Structure 1
Amino acid sequence: MKKQLLGVIDAATYHEDLQELLPHRPVAALPFAGRYRLIDFVLSSMVNSGISSVAVFPMSGYRSLMDHLGSGKNWDLNRKRDGLFLFPASPSEADKESGIGCYSHYAENLDFFYRSSQKYTLISNSFTVINTDFTSLLEKHIECGCDLTEVYKNGRALDIYLLETSLLIDLIESRAETGYTCIKDVFEDMSSPYTVCRYEYEGYAKRVETIQGYYKTSMELLDARVWNTLFKRSQPIFTKVKDEPPSRYYAESTVKRSLIANGCQLKGKVENSIISRGVTIDNGSIIRNSVIMQKCQIGENCVLDGVILDKDVTVESGTVLIGNPTNPIVIRKGSYVENAKLPANSLMIL
């Protein structure tokens, strides 16, 4: 049954409330949990569900996403048959507003769906943190005789859909007559001729759509129960492999309730935080309740609490940045924070 599923990941959505973390990357490529990107979770769930053909539909600014996904080797998708496909939108399409499962974007690559041998298509957004086997969704879809099924969590739609590939092709080709611009339109049309179903997902699933949501979901990973639910030995989350040495913990360092990726140099104090690859934290510095992305450099005697540092940020010695869970301070990629002053392109959520 697993071989009946075709995977489609819609990576074209732009979130205004995440703009401070997205000026140089799509939301699919947003770093998460120290060593992953958001797309890794849905993509790994598809691979662990036996899906061997996955199409990713990004909009613009997708260079970082292409660099991350590569040939799909890390997800065992570098295949002679099927595998990983990337279908960027054309310049004319990139300017349009579109929802998850935009038919006009798919129409530009309709041959892909015609050539696919899988009977069913699973369509998902790229920003839901989830680890699941979609086989149970397919079984329920078939058992209930559904034309289209939408996945929900606690009564909220996750923007994950299942339907027959032939029906998807029909919806794409008839969009001018029906007025449906994306798959969500079918569910919102009360007079739709199709049998639509809701599938309530009981596992852990969080949509990351705002700065506050990104921060909150990141902090939830520090709860061992959440971590063990999301990161399972039987269903690993795959990501781009980077060969870096183990992190070095100096004698003066202390680390409590935190996630530390590899390649770090830690001389300060870290509490309740997520530290990504290649981060340096110097003597006397205190990092609490923060998300520090790849290759940030934090000088001596700094205090960072309730802070999100994007990649390659340098924080000068003696700097104090204090945010809070509802108002985290966000520092953009490559910024230099000098003498406790926020750079001009930083953001404190108010």
Structure 2
Amino acid sequence: MTAAGLIFANIHDATVPELTGRRTMASIPFAGRYRLIDFALSGMVNAGITKVGVLTHDNYRSLIDHIGNGKDWDLARRNGGIKILPPFITAYDSALSGRDGATRLDALINARNFIDRCTEDVLILADCDVICNVDLQAVMESHQARGADFTMVTTTVDTAVQTLDSHAEVPTVNADGRVTDIAEYSGEEGKVTVCADIWLVNRTYLQRVLTEAISHGHKSFYKDVILRHLSADKFYAHHYDGFFGRVNSLESYFRCSMRLLDHDARVNLFYRRSQPIFTKVRNSAPTRYAPEAEVKNSLIADDCIIEGKVENSILFRGVKVGKGTTVKNSILMQDTLTGENVRLSCVITDKNVVIKDGRELCGHETMPFYIGKGVMV
């Protein structure tokens, strides 16, 4: 069985407006050196996929900069490779609703030319708001063995650890693994089985349902496509048990990031011999620690200068922590500069933030204090 990939870069931008004001959900920085798209893209590459389309709508300059020609994922190829697929918008279209490519179904319809040119047996569809390391080769084998038309990856979420919103889809799966119903999350607490926003679909089947959706003016991928065909066609679920996080708010981004300070969580997500997570490689100098520096339980990228105290925090490349400064339970993105005697707690700084001497900024794990890109405080 052969497969191509389609990644949705913008579908959930509105859930984290603080981080997506100047970028797509796909290019949100994560874990000190990665972008959210790295998880979906690496999963596809690890499954032997060599043709990937990235469906995007707007704000995709940073996404293009990150992906480049795809060489860091071994996708700089003469045949196949990776392609950015912006929406096709005419002057007439743009004068209307401005929503072209804004939903999953819109994006698929806009990518119909890419889909029609594919010769692969199946297409793997993936969102960028989820953080996981799924063995897509195993999902493909399960899909083929069952003779499925459509396979969705599911996972079990503990609502005490991961918040869910109404966009989460809760499938009903019978003993044979067949999906019999799908409902929106209604607020139940405890452990809930949800869709991991990864799907496998037969290419010819997808072409048929997209043609039907266009002819009937359908708008929703779940309500108008999946639910409409659920009882008549072969829809199955493949369960995933590894690390799973969903970025659906600034709080959830903060919590997902902080979970990686736990060694077992990092091993579960990153340290799988046959399933590495790839990202854009940058050549940077090692981080320099001053004699008075103190670092405890933190992830610190290359090219940082640490002269103060860092605890339970994540620092991206090029961050400077000044003398007498204390950084606790915080996320400092690329090239953040803190002056001397600064106090930060539960703070998220975007790229190129400058915090002057003596500032004290404090948030909470349920409401982290966010400082936008390029802001001086």
- Deviation for aligned residue 1:235: 1.9
CA distance in 2, matches of 1:15, 1:115: 28
User: How many residues are matched?
Assistant: 334
* Counterpart residue number, 1:58: 56
* Counterpart residue number, 2:98: 95
CA distance in 2, matches of 1:108, 1:55: 12
* Counterpart residue number, 2:36: 38
- Deviation for aligned residue 1:125: 0.4
- Deviation for aligned residue 1:172: 1.6
What is the aligned counterpart of 2:345 among 299, 305, 309? Answer: 305
* Counterpart residue number, 1:171: 209
* Counterpart residue number, 1:343: none
Contact 1:98 1:182 in 2 (8 A): no
* Counterpart residue number, 1:149: 151
CA distance in 1, matches of 2:102, 2:194: 16
Contact 2:54 2:83 in 1 (8 A): yes
* Counterpart residue number, 1:206: 245
Amino acid at match of 1:107: I
Residue 78 of structure 1 aligns to a residue in which SS? coil
* Counterpart residue number, 1:5: 3
CA root-mean-square deviation:
1.8
What is the aligned counterpart of 2:319 among 279, 282, 299? Answer: 279
The question of 1:256 aligning with 2:313 is answered no
CA distance in 2, matches of 1:307, 1:12: 25
CA distance in 2, matches of 1:254, 1:324: 23
What's the % identity of the aligned pairs?
A: 37
Matches within 5 A, 1:125-164: 125-154=127-156, 155-164=193-202
TM-score, with normalisation over the residues of structure 1? 0.91
- Deviation for aligned residue 1:18: 1.0
Contact 2:294 2:310 in 1 (8 A): yes
CA distance in 2, matches of 1:180, 1:200: 29
Contact 1:100 1:125 in 2 (8 A): no
What is the aligned counterpart of 1:238 among 262, 273, 278? Answer: 278
Residue 295 of structure 2 aligns to a residue in which SS? strand
The question of 1:184 aligning with 2:222 is answered yes
* Counterpart residue number, 1:294: 334
Residue 292 of structure 2 aligns to a residue in which SS? coil
Where does structure 2 lack aligned partners over 5 or more consecutive residues? 157-192
Contact 1:286 1:301 in 2 (8 A): yes
Note the alpha carbon deviations across 1:66-122, whole angstroms, 9 max, x for none: 1110111110001001110111113437822767642x4333332322221210110
- Deviation for aligned residue 1:245: 0.2
TM-score, with normalisation over the residues of structure 2? 0.84
Amino acid at match of 1:158: A
- Deviation for aligned residue 1:14: 3.6
- Bigger mean CA deviation after superposition, 319-328 or 195-204: 195-204
* Counterpart residue number, 2:376: 336
Amino acid at match of 2:98: D
- Bigger mean CA deviation after superposition, 252-261 or 85-94: 85-94
Amino acid at match of 2:99: K
Residue 336 of structure 1 aligns to a residue in which SS? coil
Note the alpha carbon deviations across 1:289-339, whole angstroms, 9 max, x for none: 0000000000000110100000100000101111111111000000111xx
- Deviation for aligned residue 1:286: 0.3
CA distance in 2, matches of 1:19, 1:111: 30
- Bigger mean CA deviation after superposition, 12-21 or 61-70: 12-21
CA distance in 1, matches of 2:143, 2:111: 26
Residue 111 of structure 1 aligns to a residue in which SS? helix
What is the aligned counterpart of 1:27 among 25, 36, 46? Answer: 25
